[in-house]
Amino acid sequence: MKMPENTSAYVWGAAVGAIALAVVGFGWGGWVTGGTSTKTAATAAADAKVAALAPICADRFRAQGDSAVKIAELTKASTWDRGNVVEKSGFAMMPGSKTTDSDVARACAEILANPPTPKT
């Protein structure tokens, strides 16, 4: 079987085109590998969990009898230690869980120490 004379040019063109397509797709097209998408999904799930559970933790912390005193103690603590204060209080542990989530505790402490300002 005889191949056309310019077959080599077609093969090289297809190879260069495939490489260019991959570079453009992964570089600017938003394509990602399976590993990257798994990491992104795990990060999004963890962020969603913290966003959902931190306000519950803050409400439970505020519901205790001496919450004003406890919140004052929390605001006196360093920003690095606030999560530990909430974690030790036990309010960062959700029902059905055996451990506290340090990310939830830190977000809860931020909510408690920096309450949102009312809009005027």
pLDDT tens digits, one per residue of 38-78:
999 999 999 999 999 999 999 988 888 888 888 888 888 88
pLDDT, residue 39, reads 95
Indicate whether 88 pLDDT > 70: yes
77: left (phi over 0), alpha (psi -120 to 50) or beta: beta
Q: Which two tokens stand for residue 107?
A: 């977000």
Contacts of 31 (CB under 8 A, 6+ apart): 25
Of 106, 112, 104, the closest CA to residue 67 belongs to 112
User: How does the average pLDDT of the chain come out, rounded?
Assistant: 88
pTM of the model: 0.69
Which among 83, 82, 77, 79 is positioned nearest to 102, based on CA atoms?
A: 83
Look at residue 13 and tell me whether its pLDDT is greater than 70.
yes
- End-to-end, the C-alpha distance of the chain in Å comes to 83
Cβ(74)–Cβ(112) under 8 Å?
yes
- DSSP-derived letter for residue 29 is S
